[in-house]
Each structure stands twice: as C-alpha cells, then as structure tokens.
Amino acid sequence: MTMDWKSYDPNGFFDELVCRDGSIRPPARQLIHYLESLPPEEIESRRQMAEATIQEMGVSFTVYTEEGNIDRAWPFDIVPRTISAKQWRTTAAGLEQRLKALNLFINDLYHEQQVLKDGIIPAEIITESRNFRPECIGITPPLGVWAHICGTDLVRDGDGEFYVLEDNLRVPSGVSYMLENRAITKRVLPELFEKDDILPIDGYCASLFDMLASLSPRDVRKPVIVVLTPGIFNSAYFEHAFLAQQMGIELVEGSDLMVGDDDCVYMKTISGPERVDVIYRRIDDLFLDPSVFNKDSVLGVPGLMRAWQKGKVALANAPGAGVADDKVVYAYVPEIIRYYLNEEPIIKNVETFLCDDPEHRAYVLENLDKLVVKPANESGGYGMLVGPHSTKKEQAQFAKLIQDNPRNYIAQPTLALSTAPTLVDNGSLEPRHLDLRPFILQGRDTYVTTGGLTRVAMKKGSLVVNSSQGGGSKDTWIVDGGEE
C-alpha cells in the first residue's frame, strides 16, 4: 500500500502515529514501513483474516436492543496504535499514583472522613452520592484496599498529553478484549512481532490471580477464588467466562453460592459445600445481597454483605468503592492526590464544570453547544450530550435535566481526541478518534497493563468510542526503543 502521509490529514488533531509534517513517529516506523510494503489485496486479505479469527474465537459482545439482546462480533481495526515505552512508563506511574490515592480516600470516607473535615471536598458531595454505602462505614477490607481493579479512561488532547477522562472503580470491563486484540494481531501481522520490540501484555491474568489471592482471609496455600457473573444475558458475559477460564477458576452465579451460619461463603459443588475465600464480582453493589440492597435481585447472594463485613470473604472490588468514581468526585481527584500522597498528580484531569456550583452551572447552560455534559453516575456512554453534535431540542432537554438535578451533572470541554490511521471501507487509511483504557490492579502490589484497550470511533469525525454505540477497537503496542 502506498500512502502519501503528507495528504493524511488528522485535521489539526494530534495523531498517534503520524506527525503534523507527515513524518512517522518513531514507535510506529516499523509498522508503517511494513504496511506500505503490502499490496492493497494483501491488506484486504489480512483484514478478512482478522474477521474470520474473531468469528472462530467467538469474541463477541452483547448489545441490548428493544428487540432483545444481540450477540455481535467484536469490531476490530487491524492497524495497531503505538505508544513509546518511555512515555508509557510515566503514564503507568501516574495511574498507580492515582489508584493509591483513591484507595486511601475511600478508606478515609468509610472511617474518620478526615478529608471532609479538612474541607478538601464539600461533605454533601459524598453524603448525596448515590454510590456512598452507609453499610460500609467502619469496615476495613483486606490490606485497606477497596478498589482492586480499576479501568481508567485516558484521552490525548490536541497538545499530545494524556488526560484522565474517568475512573471506573465498580466493575470495569474490557480487559479480555485487550488480550484478544493482541491474539488476533499476532495471527494477522505475525511478521512485525519478529522485528519490532513490542512489549508483551499477557501477564495480566496471572497478576489478577495473584492480586485476588493476596486478599484471601484464610492463610492457605491455595485460596478458593471465583468470578461471580450476573449470567449469560449480561453484556460482558464473554469476558467473565474468559477470565475464569484463563485463571482456571470457577465461574459462578449468585445461585451457586450461599452463606452459612458461620458467616462463611460456600459454593455448591458435587462434593457438597466448599468454602470460597475471594469473589471477583462482576455484579453491581446493589445486586450483591438481596437481604441488604435490592430486595428483588435474584443475581446476588443473601448474607453476602454480612460475610464480607465479618471479614470471612473478600470482595473485589469492595462494596462502596464506587463512591470514588462519581464524576463529581472526579473533579477533586487532583486535590485528593495532593492531600493523601503529598505529590503532584502525574496525569492531569480534563477540565470539569460541576453543575452544582452556581457559577459553573451558569457557564454550562450558556455553552451547551460547546460542552460535553455527562450524568454523574452513568457508564457506557449512556445519557450524555455531546454539545457540538447535538440539536437545539436536545440542548433544551439537557438544560432542564441540569436545572432539575444539578448535582447529577458535570460538563467538560469537547476534547480534541487524538486520532490514528484506521482502515476504512474503501481500503485506505484515514484518521479516526480514539481513547485508551488501561487496567490497574492493587492488592499487596500494584500492576498496570502494558498499554490497555484502545477504543476507536469507526465513524468519520465521531468522538463516541463505546462498543455499544458503534465503536471498535485496536491492538495497543507499547514499543521499546525508538523514543520520540
């Protein structure tokens, strides 16, 4: 494929692979040279190979629609996104720093609440948060850690710097797709893995297992660890089964577990009840235990909160951890880092306007056509307004929503999300916007994935990368040597 990189036009956005003058960034050089050496038919045949591989491996995700749930093949772009190892080391340090501070913060909120007393964050933000769980007050989970698995969304702005867009501390998903993307790329572009120094990513499942094992309340050599899934109809079921299979542990549903009179959790096996030490739960807080939260929930396990409160079982993430991924709390994270760690944040936040603040609110209402408005507690890209792409009617709708419930909304400037060359229908490479979700683990040690899941908006000009809304994904390469 011959590409005239001078005519490749990221339209003023920062491109991950190509500089403004059309030269190729060092980490991407081998990749681009290689792609240029392939005739167009060959590129098309690699693309088809990727598609077939995805079908064969059964990589799918579920989309909820009015006609029912649809299992869709995972949308994938064969051109990897590259980042230099040097830059990644700094970013990874920033991610660890952030999660450490957030865990200290959550632990403080459920104990002394010193951070509120010291006026770092207004107390009502916490007391009014839908994700603050009074049931967790006074509890110290193993190692004092609440959020063991965190998926942090990073974006690169026009200046080429990484910013944190949001922290996902409840049940972040996507890591299986990160691993599958690499498996697909190895089959589709195997030649590149011989030449390029692409750092491996497959340590994740082993690290996840070790982290979970480090939480075991029993000091046994082989603690019993399970993945708790809401079941086959959940959009991330594929990932739940994938992780259980990779770690060699049981995939359970609520009905497979029970809490005994001794407050321990047991799973129902063919040899009778077997005690469970650690539960990697992929169910939201409110469905965990029908005797405490949502009474109608059939997904959870009655008595599970009691078992956790008594320290008989570890839950990852701990209930109540979501209090720190509220988008209003997000605005305060830089302060939280300074307060608990006495360090400057390594990765910056995106500028955020809190609609609860009268001045901010007035600014937001005046600039709805320029801002992105998000509800404080939603995920998956649902219920948000992308100002520049919205109609007057939608803006008026959001103005009313904000005025009715200002605490529940924040706004951010429309980011100039970075782009990367993406194979489009006519067989050429065009810039498409993307973000990056690395996964961070904290138990006895901390661990950051090498890169993460790159999600890409497949539609020209679109900024929405969620797979539920037409986004796709790319393999993410952290390339050693060839620094910028």
Partner 1 sequence: MLSKVAERLYWAARYLERVENTARLVSVYDKLLFDLPREVDISWYSLVELNSASDLFSERYRIRDEHNVVKFILADDTNPSSMLSALRMLRENIRTSRDVLPVESWEQINELYLYAQNNIRLGINRSKRYEFLDQVVSRCQMLFGMLSGTMSHDAPWQFVKLGRDLERSDMTTRILDAGAAALIAANGDASVNLRQVVWGNVLRSASAYMSYRRSVRMSVTGPDVACYLLEDAHFPRSVEACLTQLEISAGKLPQGHHVVELIREINPSVYPITTEADLGPAFRSFLNDLQIQLCQLSNRISQTWFPA
Instruction: Using CB under 8 A, list all residues that contact partner 1.
Output: 56, 58, 232, 241, 244-245, 250-253, 255-256, 267-272
Burial status of residue 40 (CB atoms within 10 A of its CB: 0-12, 13-18, 19 or more): exposed
- Cβ distance to partner 1 smaller for residue 164 or 267: 267
Residues whose CB is less than 8 angstroms from the CB of residue 314 and which lie 6 or more positions away in sequence, other chains included: 141, 142, 212, 215, 216, 217, 277, 278, 279, 308
Work out how close the CB of 174 gets to partner 1 at its nearest, in angstroms, rounded to a whole number: 19
Amino acid code (one letter) for 54 = I
- Pick from 125, 91, 151: which is nearest to 335 by CA? 125
In angstroms, give the least distance from the CB of 318 to partner 1.
24
- For residues 168 and 150, is the Cβ–Cβ distance under 8 A? yes
Shorter beta-carbon distance to partner 1: residue 251 or 347: 251
Task: Please measure the distance between the N-terminal and C-terminal CA atoms of the chain and give it in whole angstroms.
Answer: 25
Residue with Cβ nearer partner 1 (233 or 382): 233
CB of 246: closest distance to partner 1 in angstroms? 10
Shortest approach of partner 1 to residue 269 CB, angstroms? 6
User: Which parts of 159-303 fold into alpha helices (H)?
Assistant: 175-188, 190-195, 204-213, 237-247
Smallest gap from Cβ 87 to partner 1, in A, equals: 37
Q: Are 75 and 458 in contact (CB under 8 A)?
A: yes
| Residue placing its CB nearer to partner 1 in the complex, 272 or 358 | 272
Q: How far is the CB of 270 from partner 1 (least distance, A)?
A: 4
User: Do 280 and 287 meet the contact criterion of CB atoms below 8 Å apart?
Assistant: no
Nearer to partner 1, 157 or 256 (CB): 256
CB of 33 to partner 1, least distance (A): 35
Residue 479's φ and ψ, nearest 5 degrees, are: -110, 125
Residue spans of alpha helices (H) in 10-84: 29-37, 40-57
Given a contact cutoff of 8 angstroms between Cβ atoms, the answer to whether 253 and 231 are in contact is yes
Q: Which residues contact 154 (CB under 8 A, 6 or more apart)?
A: 91, 162, 163, 164, 165, 347, 435, 436, 437, 438, 452
For residue 271, the minimal CB distance to partner 1 (Å) is: 4
Of 128 and 256, which CB lies nearer to partner 1 in the complex structure? 256
CB of 256 or CB of 394, closer to partner 1: 256
Nearer to partner 1, 56 or 67 (CB): 56
- Name the nearest CA neighbour of 132 among 118, 117, 151, 146: 146
CB 127 within 8 A of CB 133: no
Phi and psi (nearest 5°) for 89? Answer: -60, -45
159/270 with CB nearer partner 1: 270
Closest contact distance (angstroms) between CB of 74 and partner 1 is 16
Let me know: does 331 contact 376? Beta carbons within 8 Å.
no
